[in-house]
Structure 1
Amino acid sequence: MIRIILLRHGETTWNIEGRYQGQEDTPLSPRGLEQGKKAALALKDVPIDRAISSPLFRSYETCRMAADYHGLTVEKDSRITEISHGKWEGIHADEIEARYPTEFHLWHTHPEQVQMPEGENLEDVRKRCREAFDEYAEKYDGETILVAAHDAVNKAIICDLLGLDMSHFWQIKQDNCCINVLECDKGIWRIVSLNNTAHLGYLVSGIEQKGL
């Protein structure tokens, strides 16, 4: 059996502003750094054999803070990089809604039907993330792996591992620096913990971010 501790990165300034980040390499906000430290402390005494992160700094730094307690070097895997929003990246959600009203409405109602302009769709994300997770399950059987990724990545892979298509994308919530625990035994995946934020001092954040 493999156990994957799946993190979402800490808060960024663009999360606060409601800008779509996608594959833009944005830094953690001061609050995001504190969230990362709290997640690291929460995982300090949990046996972890390996640490893997998206190459983007916000996820890598979140992962590194936890990995340091275990003397682990963080490996980068581009397959778990955030969705490419294409022309939407760097733009505030309200401005995207004004420029692309049809696509923006569809993104929040039928996300599986949206092709980001000059970017990806959720099927692109699902395929590359599932390839990574299947590889982890095969290569690291018997280990506990820390994986740090992103909102859309986490939602897409959780849906897929549960056998849900991408139309269920918005039914999965991922707060900044939440902890999820996934297990795979003999090819069967299950969710042990989802969107846990107790280490941050609250059970429910109440935060609804405008941008991913």
Structure 2
Amino acid sequence: MRLFIVRHGETDWNVTGRFQGRNDIALNDRGLEQARRLAGALEKVPFDRLWSSPLSRALETARAVALLQGKSVEIDEGLTEISHGEWEGLDGAEVERRWPGDLARWHGTPHLLAMPGGESLLDVQRRSVEALDRVVAAGGENVLVAAHDAVIKVLLCACLEMPLRCFWRFQVGNGSVTLLEPTARGWSVPLLGDTCHLGDPYFRPLQKGL
């Protein structure tokens, strides 16, 4: 089995640095083009199944790939982005004004912070690992999973047996592909956050918002 874990294309809130969380923000024009380029790059991979978060930004990305292969996309709620709670819809400056010091804690020790009314990284990891287990159990040789920044990073921590304090060590830009393969020694990650298929100007090396 090969799992192609893709992050959704860009949204306007990614650009402006607003915390999206479970807000259903659609892809912007750049994000739609990223999804098309991603689909083109994966066109020759014969996917057996395609899975997605229910949020439209991930679902649109998965459907771009599915369309070229005449496939349908299956939904798993466990792949939904982290709930940012009361931070959702705010940018970093607004968060800092209302919760002084918490933004620095989020960027420094994210595993120790639960956003007010939201989830902790451990919460997200538990449900996303359960979702990954369901995807694996459903079978398929080549399987696509369209998800979100935080979900992909906590899954990488789990698959590589790394603590959640390592969350920020991974870079998975919008429209990126990460490949997971099961081995006798555990999960292998032969490809991480690849965006070569996007090309300039559709690749942004730094993403401001989740």
Question: Shorter chain as normaliser: what TM range?
Answer: over 0.9
- 3-state secondary structure, aligned to 1:158: helix
Identity of aligned residues (%): 45
Structure 1 window deviating more from structure 2 (57-66 vs 89-98): it is 89-98
Shift of 1:22: 0.3
Structure 1, unaligned stretches of length 5 or more? none
What does residue 121 of structure 2 align with? 122
CA contact (8 A) 1:93 1:210 kept: no
Cα deviation for residue 105 of structure 1 reads 0.9
| Pairing of 1:8-87 with structure 2 (within 5 A) | 8-87=7-86
State the 1:116 CA deviation. 1.0
Amino acid at match of 1:62: T
Question: What RMSD over aligned residues (CA atoms) do the two structures have, in Å?
Answer: 1.5
Give the equivalent residue in structure 2 for 1:134: 133
Runs of 4+ in structure 1 off by over 4 angstroms are: none
Tell me the SS of whatever aligns to 2:180.
Answer: strand
C-alpha distance in 1 between matches for 2:152 and 2:198: 19
Aligned pair 1:159/2:157, yes or no?
Answer: yes
SS at match of 1:176: coil
Structure-2 residue corresponding to 1:109: 108
Equivalent pair of 2:45/2:142 in contact (CA under 8 Å):
no
Question: How big is the shift at 1:205?
Answer: 4.6
Mapped partners of 2:93, 2:189: distance in 1: 34
Q: Deviations over 1:160-199 (max 9, x none)?
A: 1000011000000110000111011357211010010000
How far does residue 135 in structure 1 lie from its aligned partner after superposition? 2.5
Distance 2:185 2:135 in 1: 12
> What's 1:143 paired with?
141
C-alpha distance after superposition, 1:86-122 (max 9, x if no partner) = 0000111221122212221110000000011001000
Letter in 2 for 1:133: L
**Amino acid of the residue matched to residue 169 of structure 1?**
F
- SS of residue paired to 1:63: helix
Mapped pair 1:201 → 2:191:
no
Residues matched between the structures, number:
209
CA distance in structure 1 between the aligned counterparts of 2:46 and 2:207, rounded to whole angstroms: 32
Equivalent position SS for 1:69: helix
Amino acid across the alignment from 1:120: E
Q: Which residue of 1 aligns with 2:188?
A: 190
Q: Distance in 2 between matches of 1:209 and 1:144?
A: 28
Give the residue type in structure 1 aligned to 2:155.
Answer: I
Query: How has the CA–CA distance of structure 1 residues 76 and 63 changed in structure 2, closer, same or farther, with 3 Å as cutoff?
Result: same
